[in-house]
Amino acid sequence: MNEILENENFEELLNESFRTLNTGDTVTGVITSVSAAELTVDLGAKVTGVIPYDEVAEDSSVDLTKVYKVGDTVVARATRVSDVEGMAVLSVKQAERTNSFRKIADAAEAGEILSGKVTDVVKGGLVVSCKYNRVFIPAGQSGVPKDGDLNTLKGKTVRFKIIDMDPEKSRAVGSIRVVEREERKAKLEEFWATIEEGKSYTGTVKSLTSFGAFVDLGGIDGMVHTTELTWAKIKHPSEVVSVGQTITVYVKSFDREKKRISLGYKKAEDDPWVQFTTKYAVGDVAPVKIVSFMSFGAFAEVLPGADGLIHISQIADKRVEKPADELQIGQVVDAKIVGIDEEKKKISLSIRALLAPESVEPASEDAE
């Protein structure tokens, strides 16, 4: 009895060892060796399976030695079988293609986003490898401007949606543009839902006009008026920022309905008045630069953006007919701070107070 069983088992094993493999069969095998050019597979049959690089790699950048290892199981389709050579040429791509196209079809029906690498730039568009299938993306759906270069996308992984397909021919057409449009819309909705006054954003200066700078906040433009660029007086925004520059701005006001955003760039801590009152007080002496003359006195810069008035009666310890008789534009002189009007942000200065401080009283600015 045992002898009969042993004979049956031996015959079964013998038959199995000579199991035939036909072209078109889909088989499962175990990888026995890996090289940069191919995979060798044990099929449990009288032929050894060989999978060439082009039949397993989705694109030319794949390194088989890093993706596969001995002992891994692969499913492949026999494309050529030679009992004489004892070899079968296999294709992972062909085995996967039918099943994976079904997955692409399911994703299309569900409106899901797929991803794949751009392998070729062809007439009229791009070819993307996705799940071992070739998906065509027309130039108009690539997201590249009309006169742009499609080659800039070659070799890159892109995200797209299927917009048309022919299941019988396993052909699919995708669109990168649809995904970009949907994501841009979602981003805009999120932006307007979360915007608030005082909130900071990092943006790129998009363009300059005589009245301000337009800043791209990531698909949404805001405007920084010239007066909000800097505390100093400027003639043009280009004195402070340039097109393409990345800057941090904050929201001063906005109108959701009109989609308008007013931005600020200058910082409160840079306010010349804040810097002045932090550094100086009444009674302090400061070096000041004469910047302009009026009939009633001279204006002098204490700090950039913070000017004070030297009343004509405070220029010298004698009668002065006009400021230009004693001072020059651009001249730097020491002056005493004799008055600070916090409400009107005005500074009163006196040179005379340093010449004869005991006899000088702060002058009225009514003449101003």
Domain closes at, from 94, 120, 146: 94
Residue 169 confidence (pLDDT): 81
Mean pLDDT: which of 16-25, 102-111, 335-344 is highest? Answer: 335-344
Residues 277 and 216 in one domain: no
pTM of the model: 0.53
Q: Quickly state the pLDDT bin for 44 (edges 50, 70, 90).
A: confident
Q: What is the residue whose two structure tokens read 């499962």?
A: 28
Asked whether residue 5 carries a pLDDT value surpassing 50, the answer given is no
Among the ranges given (44-53, 308-317, 330-339), the one the predictor scored with the smallest mean pLDDT: 44-53
Q: Determine contact, residues 218/229, Cβ cutoff 8 Å.
A: no
- Distance, in Å, from the CA atom of 306 to the CA atom of 300, rounded to the nearest integer, reads 9
Question: Are residue 281 and residue 330 in the same domain, yes or no?
Answer: yes
Tell me if 136 is assigned to some domain: yes
Instruction: Answer whether residue 254 shows pLDDT above 70.
Output: yes
In terms of domains, do 355 and 277 share one?
Answer: yes
pLDDT at 330: 95
Q: Which two tokens stand for residue 363?
A: 């002058």
209 and 240 both lie in a single domain:
yes
- Kindly state whether residue 103 falls inside one of the protein's structural domains: no
Q: How far apart are CA 89 and CA 27, in angstroms?
A: 12
The residue segments making up the domain with residue 333 are: 272-359
Query: Cα-Cα-Cα-Cα dihedral of 177, 180, 183, 187, to 10°?
Result: -130
**Section 196-213 average pLDDT:** 94
- The answer to the question of residue 335 being in a domain is yes
Say if 40 falls within a structural domain: yes
Residue 204's pLDDT is what? 96
Residues 324 and 293 in one domain: yes
Q: Tell me the average pLDDT across 343-354.
A: 93
pLDDT at 356: 57
Residue 35 lies in a domain: yes
Whether 22 has a pLDDT exceeding 60, the answer reads yes
- At 95, is the pLDDT very low, low, confident or very high (cuts 50, 70, 90)? confident
Residue 15 has pLDDT above 80, yes or no: no
Distance of CA 114 to the CA centre of its chain: 21
Residues 172 and 200 in one domain: no
Q: Looking at the structure, do residues 261 and 279 belong to the same domain, yes or no?
A: no
Task: Please check whether residues 259 and 338 belong to one and the same domain.
Answer: no
| Residue type at 271 in one-letter notation | D
Nearest to 23 by CA among 85, 104, 98, 90: 90
Of 137, 154, 180, the last residue of a domain is 180
Overall domain count for the chain: 4
Which stretches of 173-303 are DSSP H helices?
Answer: 176-194, 272-279
Whether residue 226 is found in the same domain as residue 254? yes
Radius of gyration for the alpha carbons in the chain, expressed in angstroms and rounded: 40
Backbone φ, ψ for residue 158 (5° rounding): -120, 160
CA distances from 176 to 1, 129, 183, 187, 320 (A): 70, 14, 11, 17, 77
pLDDT in tens, 127-140: 998 877 889 999 99
Phi-psi region of 211 (alpha: psi -120 to 50; beta: other; left: phi over 0): alpha
Last residue of a domain, one of 248, 269, 290: 269
For residue 288 the two structure tokens come to 């000041």
The model's confidence at residue 17, banded by pLDDT at 50, 70 and 90, is very low
In-domain check, residue 321: yes
87 and 126 co-located in one domain: no
Q: How confident is the model at residue 98 (pLDDT cuts 50, 70, 90)?
A: low
Q: How confident is the model at residue 244 (pLDDT cuts 50, 70, 90)?
A: very high
155 within some domain: yes
CATH of the domain at 148: 2.40.50.140
Same-domain status, 221 and 283: no
Q: What pLDDT is attached to residue 232? A: 81
Is 14 contained in some domain? no
